[in-house]
Amino acid sequence: MSSSTQKIILDILSYAILIFGAITMLFPFLWMLSVSFRIPAQQYSRSIIPDPITIQNYIDLWKNLPDHSFPYLVFNSFKISTLTAAGQLITCAMAAFAFAIVNFKGRNLLFSLLLATMMIPSQVSLIPNFIIFKYLHLIGTQWPLILPAFWGGAFGTFLLRQYFLTIPRDLVDAARIDGASLFGIFWKIYLPLSKPALAALTIFVFKDAWNDLLHPLIYLPTDMHQTTLTVGLAFFQQQLQMGGKFTVLMAGAFLSILPLLFIFFIAQKQFIEGIALSGVKR
């Protein structure tokens, strides 16, 4: 068997494995989408294509949530996720620039300590943070979900620092000769050149904040006009399971992931480029 024939066989096997993996990962999403357009009597049908196709589940989701709160749930989740992503981008970018470009004593030690915090589960700091926000009288508001993002993050700092290190240092030296300040170099050179990494971090942070269920349950009230979409769907799930209408639940699940799909497809190119160049796996 010639080398070219072996290469063709290996390519066919590789593509077959990739296609099988893609179908395996895509099938649950297709099933969820299919169930959301079925009538309740056919919610356990094995057919992927609904017959008949109905949008009544989306209408029922809009009507059956308490106080017609679905728009409020979506707005609260979008608001918290957007501000969280903005906070992480600002603080992590500045910290990453300092660790990558600025030479100061103990830089490597501080960066190592920062990376070590990634091994600490977020649940460990939950009680201390709750006590702090309680003394600040912020429990029952959205601030406990937003403010920690402006304290920085180990993962975001690491991702952006790795990307900053790929930018030629000659640009910094040339800007220094022209009299640029550190902030000017950061704002006018490094941030514009780091759009792929910034897009990747935005998707990561927005996804985590959008899907977060634990922290909204702890900090936010049960009022459907003030909590997030994940909490609203979790409460609604109990009611739907008692009524057996999984079709409505799947409609809510599909609507909840639409913003994530929209953001990913818009920034897909930058996202892949940012992950590839920074060498980060998650």
Domain chopping of the chain, boundaries: 65-278
Which single residue is written with the structure tokens 């709750």?
Answer: 130
Sequence-distant (6+) residues with CB within 8 A of 88 are 149, 152, 153, 156, 201, 205
Q: What is the pLDDT of residue 23?
A: 85
DSSP state of 179: T
Say what the pTM is.
Answer: 0.82
Q: Please, how many CA atoms are within 13 Å of residue 167, restricted to the half-sphere of its CB?
A: 24
Q: Indicate the CATH number for domain 65-278.
A: 1.10.3720.10
pLDDT surpassing 50 at residue 92:
yes
187-237: per-residue pLDDT in tens? Answer: 988 998 888 888 889 888 998 999 898 899 899 887 778 888 888 888 777
135-146: per-residue pLDDT in tens? Answer: 999 998 999 999
Q: What is the pLDDT of residue 281?
A: 45
Query: How far, in Å, are 105, 110, 186 from residue 165 at the CA level?
Result: 19, 17, 13
- Percentage of the chain with pLDDT > 90? 23
pLDDT surpassing 50 at residue 279:
no
Q: What is the pLDDT of residue 54?
A: 86
CA-CA-CA-CA torsion for 21, 267, 206, 27, nearest 10 degrees?
A: -20
